[in-house]
Amino acid sequence: MFSKLLIANRGEIACRVIRTARRMGIKTVAVYSEADAGALHVAMADEALPIGPAPARESYLAIPKIIAAARASGAEAIHPGYGFLSENADFAEACERAGLIFVGPPAEAIRAMGDKAAAKTLMEQAGVPVILGYHRADQSEATLVKAAAQVGYPLLIKASAGGGGKGMRIVEAASDFAEALASAKREARSAFGDDRVLLEKYLVRPRHIEVQVFADSHGNAVHLFERDCSIQRRHQKVIEEAPAVGLSEEMRLKLGAAAVAATKAAAYRGAGTIEFILVDDFFAFMEMNTRLQVEHPVTEAITGLDLVEWQLRVAAGEALPLGQDAIRHRGHAIEARIYAEDPARDFLPATGRLAILAPPAETASVRIDTGVRAGDTVTIHYDPLIAKLIVHGADRTAAVQRLAEALSQYRIAGVVTNREFLYRVATHPAYAAGEIDTGFIGRHRAALIPPQTPAPFAALGAASLAHVLDAASSARARGTSGGDPWSPWHRRDGWRLNGETYQDLLWRDGAEERQVRVHNANGAYRLASGNHSCAAAAAWESDGILVLTLDGTRRRAAVMQQRDAVTVQLDGIEHRLYYIDPLSPTVAVDETGGRLSAPMPGKIIAVKTAAGKRVKRGEALLVLEAMKMEHTIVAPADGTVERVNYAAGDLVEEGAALIAFAAEK
């Protein structure tokens, strides 16, 4: 076994590899870009070396810099994690030329399986079922149009070299094909440096089932059961579980056998994942991921194995630790990916500082994999994954309940996240019943991403009582730090000389202003707002957790305060309120009507309109690339484009006015 390992990645996977290596007595070396100088993986590693500016192409994707860092540190092996260079055959070869062990498959296997079109051909030859489609070398538009007609609509355009939903488009009709093809090719070229695509028949209500496989250099290959990855948005997984719900033992054996056959056909070594599409009793090969997957912890949870340790042992030339007959699974595990993204804006990635980050306590049944801490910043440069929450239960029902409870306890503030969305999935009756497929989110969108509604009285009460308690605590602190403790100027409880004691607090709730009157009679409160009035009591249980009693009903609320912004997390649902200080000057509202602004920092990829053009509501005006994904800016109404402020290739900041637009009256 080698003694020093360099991790050519960042975030939670780098931290994950460091933990396993440390347990095995292997020294670790982290690499980091300028944006990651203070990152968690840098702090955790035994050594850390800088490799360049924040853009991934100049740091984490720069092969010469990674090799140089390994040589400078004396590392004998490189673990690529997932993403970045993990499926780059040139990188695997560069490691070999440098005399370094690449913790992954041979370069030939990466090339064979990384090219989705070539992989499908190889699987056909190996007798593995393959879905109807086009995956040949001729990439001319005329050939692809003809092939699309033969495959039939609806169909999928997929990047041949890609994954993670990038370079993928669903096409419903022939009239939409040309534009979807151009967009998919642009995104594929940006994300993978390769714009080749393949076509697949789009199946209605399929399930995405993948099988974890492992092979060594001694001719052994096994599977470690399947995972269901059907809960997806933007063709990217957000909730995965193992084993797959409702799968018969016969189907499980067939999938496992097909996965092992595919692994052997690829002359594979190390960890990999064979991905299948499943509809009823029919399954077909989609692709192979020649690396460890983000969702590998659910396989670890049901098997009790450390897959990173297996990777390191196989890379060191050892045989697989277990044969197929010795691999067992126990219970049920689910992983939820917590992202900085806004579900209400089509899951647009978000950036910002993690002012509050308080996960639930880790136990034997609850695991948190993360690469960030409170105070860290989610930037535009990298994937916006905050953490992976993994739960395990004796059966699926127990695991689903544990997932919902853990999500309800997770507290994050400072950046928009999908935590509440995940909680709504976990508590949805159809998810609990196992009625899942890749269309789950779209089918239940109204329930999973409901429109914003006014905060309930309990949330207003929690914010108000937290404000009153904190004001009283601050007043007491001032009174005991040298001032007159009996001075009436230190009181913050609304005391009046000849009247009842109360305070009026004003909150902005969405577009509304809502007032709460807090009556205080020696610590016994009464709240009144609109038609609601009730007796109340409150006390801080711990940092950020308020024990709230309204008319005798006791409950806990997470109250996260950032200056005047307050997020109340009640029964898993978040309510955002803003305190309006009556002593502060009124700030004029910024009128931005008529301007279409950049939803986040990015690069203009295409301009599809011009000044003076009349457009219809929903018509594409401009395409923005951010976080390796394309975001189309559309006309909000029928109207006229008055001015286009940027050209293709321009970089823009969040909030930049992209287009001046006049809506028809």
- Which residues are known to be catalytic? 291
Please name the amino acid found at residue 554.
R
| Residue 57 backbone phi and psi in degrees, to 5 | -65, -25
Torsion of CA 514, 519, 524, 529, to 10 degrees: -30
Q: Which helix (H) or strand (E) holds 563?
A: none
Rounded to 5 degrees, what angle do the CA atoms 649, 35, 63 make? 75
Cross-strand pairs, 275: 210, 287
Tokens of 410: 């997770």
Q: List phi, psi (to 5°) of 556.
A: -105, 145
Supply 231's token pair.
């809960």
Quick check: 24 and 41 in contact, CB under 8 A? Answer: no
Q: How many Å from the N-terminal Cα to the C-terminal Cα in the chain? A: 73
**What tokens were used for 396?**
């699926």
Does residue 638 contact residue 615 with C-beta atoms inside 8 Å? Answer: yes
Beta pairing partners, 606? 623
State the Cα–Cα distance between residues 1 and 315, nearest whole angstrom: 9
With b meaning 16 or more CB within 10 Å and e meaning fewer, what string describes 350-364?
bbbebbbbbbbeeee
The answer for residues whose C-beta is within 8 angstroms of residue 367's C-beta and 6 or more apart is 297, 301, 389, 390, 391, 392
Q: Which amino acid is at 547?
A: V
Q: Name 495's Cβ contacts closer than 8 Å, sequence gap at least 6.
A: 488, 501
Count of C-beta atoms within a 10 Å radius of residue 96? 13
Rounded (to 5) percent helix, strand, coil in the chain: 30, 35, 40
HSE toward the beta carbon, residue 133, CA cutoff 13 A: 29
Count the neighbouring beta carbons within 10 Å of the beta carbon of residue 129: 14
Length of the chain measured in residues: 665
Distance CA 386, CA 374 (A): 11
Strands 169-171 and 545-550: what pairing? unpaired
Amino acid at 323: G
CB 602 within 8 A of CB 625: yes
Residue 582: asked if its preceding bond is cis (omega within 30°), the reply is: no
